[in-house]
Amino acid sequence: MNDGGSLIVNTDSLRLDNKGIVLADTVSGEGGNIFLNIKSDLILQNRSIINARSSRTGNGGNITIDSPVIAGFENSDIIASAVRGNGGNINIKTQGLFGLQFREQLTNESDINASSKFGISGQVVLQQLDFNPVNNLVKLPSNFENTTQVKDGCRAYAEQKFIISGRGGLPQNPSNLFNGNQVLIQLFDLNSEEKISSNTSFQTNNANYDNQQKSIIEATGFIRNANGEIELVALSPTPLRTKQLSECSGAHT
């Protein structure tokens, strides 16, 4: 009578299909221990089995599974049972268990079983980690817009048109010319527009007059002002009289 050994599996993912087996059982000795540490998922399909049972006088082995996702389908089982000895213990740590259910006896479904026919049944411990699927969901606003304020759309007909005509300096249609009024986005008073246009015209005329007054003209002569100072002028109405040398004192011819 030999005891079953221990089987330790560390992997990213484990899939058993078409009667696939992870086995550490024995006939008369103690069932072996199975440790499965899986990072992603454990999938059992089509009568696959994880088995640590003892089929006669020995005790069933222990099965420990740590995997985020565990799924069993099509009569796939996890077994740590015994006949005359005690059933083993099954410890499962996961975030999601699908398809597999704990049952006192094996059935045609996918079972988790640690029973003993004549001895003491083992324990099945399921540690399902807290996982709230709504933690990563975006919270939607609870205040909805008043649909009565939404304007009803036009009914769809063949060869129909929907036109929005507004202001803002644009002509009513492409064939019209731009007007000379100032661009005003909103509706406005026509009387106030006339005042704006007249003020603009008056300011423009004054600006042109100031530009003409400030233009530089080339000097064509010079005069003496009332203070006896010489000034350059554009036109000299009266030629400046110069004294003859003979009128100056001390002048000699």
- What pLDDT is recorded for position 70? 95
Distance from C-alpha of 92 to C-alpha of 232, rounded to nearest angstrom = 112
pLDDT tens readout for residues 50-77: 999 888 888 889 999 999 999 999 999 9
Q: Which one, of 29, 109, 113, 124, lies nearest residue 79 by Cα?
A: 113
- The pTM assigned to this predicted structure is 0.51
C-alpha to C-alpha distance for 127 and 93, rounded to whole angstroms? 5
Give the tokens for residue 113.
Answer: 């079983």
> For position 97, what pLDDT does the model report?
92
Q: Is 228 exposed, middle or buried (0-12, 13-18, 19+ CB in 10 A)?
A: exposed
One-letter amino acid for residue 40 of the chain: S
Buried b (16+ CB within 10 A) or exposed e, 105-114: eeeeebbbbb
